[in-house]
Structure 1
Amino acid sequence: MPNHEAIYREEAAQYHEMIARQPDLLSVIEEIVPLRGLDVVDIGAGTGRLSAALAPAANSLVALDAAEAMLDITAERLRAAGLDNWSVRVADHRELPLQGGSADLIVAGWSVCYLASVNVPDWERNLEQVIGEIKRVLRPGGTIILFETMGTGYETPSPPEFLLPYYRKLTDTYGFSHRWIRTDYEFDDADQAERLTRFFFGDELADRVAADKLSRLPECAGIWWLKPR
């Protein structure tokens, strides 16, 4: 399996080429909370998959990520869109560089999992810290929305075993609501599909993409949301 931490540091442009093949999630988020006029924080913002969709409707947006190279692309995208209501900062999910009670909505796309996988030491403590920081930064009545994988290369949910305890914690311990959606990759052709799948997901999935000459790679994603009391 490719080293995702190295990809985020060193190959942000190719990563963005890949995730740009997925659908816009603005409508999914607005089914949970209307965005107009909100102060939004995107933690683990990456190259702006969520930030670029949310910023035009938000009052303000702060994009946070541990990899500066990823945030450079987010900043380029927001600047190119003619927006001036945003900022980017390098940050760890467990220590957000933001004032308490400063956000109406905090989103995290496919990022908390890197701290909350059972393969990570002290994952439960990590998750407790992340949720605690999010709640500290949220205003009363604010909303948390988390996106995580439910399986790439699958038509229906098939989440990785090492993430299931984390997912159970979200619903059973922290009280999140949950549903799943499809976030398929629509590549230009089978060659692009194989190249980008191999780059991020590794040889096993890429070999299947190549053998079947796929240009659409199915993927399922989970959405967890909470309005803390």
Structure 2
Amino acid sequence: MPDHTVIYTKKAEQYDLLISRQKSVYQTLEKIKPFEGLDIIDMGAGTGRLTCLLAPKAKSILALDASQAMLDVTANKLKEMGLNHWKTRVADHRQLPVGDNSADLIVSGWSICYLGSSNVPGWRRYVHQVMEEIKRVLRPGGSVVILETMGTGTALPTPPDFLKGYYSLLENGYGFSKTVIRTDYAFANIAEAGDLTRLFFGDELADRVVEQGLVQLPEWAGVWWREFT
């Protein structure tokens, strides 16, 4: 499996091309929490997949990520959109550089999982720290929406074994509601499909993509949400 830390710090542009090939989650987010006029924080914003969806309707939006390289891509996108009510900051989910009661909505896409993996010693403690920070930063009645992988290249949702404990904790420990959606990749051609899947998912999936001509690659996402009072 490729080293995602290296991708996020040194291959941000290629990663951004990969996620640009995925189906939009705009309608899912809008249905869960209408976001017009809200102060929003995107935790683990990456290259701005969620930030750029939410920013046009937000009152303000703050993109946080551990990688400055990823945030630079996000900033360039927001500038190109002609927006000026945004900021980016390098941050750790467990210690957000934000004041108490300062956001109406927090979103986090495919990011908390890096702390919630059962391969990470102390993952339960880390998830708890993240939840405490979310609770601190949200205003009363504020909401959080978390998106994570439920499988790539599978016919049915197939969450990785190392994330099942984290997902169960969200639902049974922290009271999140959940749904599962399709976020398939639609690549321009088979060469691009092979290159981009190899970049992020590794040789095994990329070889199958090329052999089977999977220009359309199935992708599943879990969506968890709750309101903090």
Q: Same fold (TM over 0.5)?
A: yes
Residue in structure 2 matched with residue 160 of structure 1 by the alignment: 160
Residue 18 in structure 1 maps to residue 18 in structure 2: yes
Residues 56-67 of structure 1: matches in 2 within 5 Å? 56-67=56-67
Residue 100 in structure 1 maps to residue 100 in structure 2: yes
2:103 and 2:23 map into 1 onto residues whose CA distance is 25
Shift of residue 165 of structure 1? 0.3
Note the aligned Cα RMSD (angstroms).
Answer: 0.6
2:81 and 2:9 map into 1 onto residues whose CA distance is 24
Residue in structure 1 matched with residue 199 of structure 2 by the alignment: 199
Residue in structure 2 matched with residue 172 of structure 1 by the alignment: 172
Contact 1:155–1:220 (CA under 8 A) maintained in structure 2: no
Shift of residue 24 of structure 1? 1.9
Residue 139 in structure 1 maps to residue 147 in structure 2: no
Shift of residue 36 of structure 1? 0.8
Shift of residue 61 of structure 1? 0.1
Residue identity opposite 2:146 in structure 1: L
Residue identity opposite 2:71 in structure 1: L
Deviation digits for residues 1-59 of structure 1, max 9, x if unmatched? 00001110110000001000012212110101111100000000000000000000000
Contact 1:45–1:108 (CA under 8 A) maintained in structure 2: yes
Residue in structure 2 matched with residue 49 of structure 1 by the alignment: 49
Contact 1:141–1:227 (CA under 8 A) maintained in structure 2: yes
Deviation digits for residues 109-139 of structure 1, max 9, x if unmatched? 0000000100001000000000100110000
Residue identity opposite 1:123 in structure 2: W
Residue in structure 1 matched with residue 71 of structure 2 by the alignment: 71
Q: Structure 2, unaligned stretches of length 5 or more? A: none
1:41 and 1:106 map into 2 onto residues whose CA distance is 5
Three-state SS of the structure 2 residue aligned to 1:223 is strand
TM-score by length of 2: 0.99
Residue identity opposite 1:193 in structure 2: A
Q: Size of the alignment, in residue pairs?
A: 229
TM-score by length of 1: 0.99
Shift of residue 176 of structure 1? 0.2
Three-state SS of the structure 1 residue aligned to 2:211 is helix
- Moved segments of 4+, more than 6 Å: none
Residue in structure 2 matched with residue 186 of structure 1 by the alignment: 186
Three-state SS of the structure 1 residue aligned to 2:125 is helix
Residue in structure 1 matched with residue 109 of structure 2 by the alignment: 109
Three-state SS of the structure 2 residue aligned to 1:225 is strand
Shift of residue 155 of structure 1? 2.7
Residue in structure 1 matched with residue 4 of structure 2 by the alignment: 4
Residue identity opposite 1:129 in structure 2: Q
1:170 and 1:46 map into 2 onto residues whose CA distance is 22
Identity among equivalent pairs (%): 56
Q: Structure 1, unaligned stretches of length 5 or more? A: none
Contact 1:10–1:69 (CA under 8 A) maintained in structure 2: yes
Residue 82 in structure 1 maps to residue 82 in structure 2: yes
Three-state SS of the structure 2 residue aligned to 1:220 is strand
1:121 and 1:210 map into 2 onto residues whose CA distance is 36
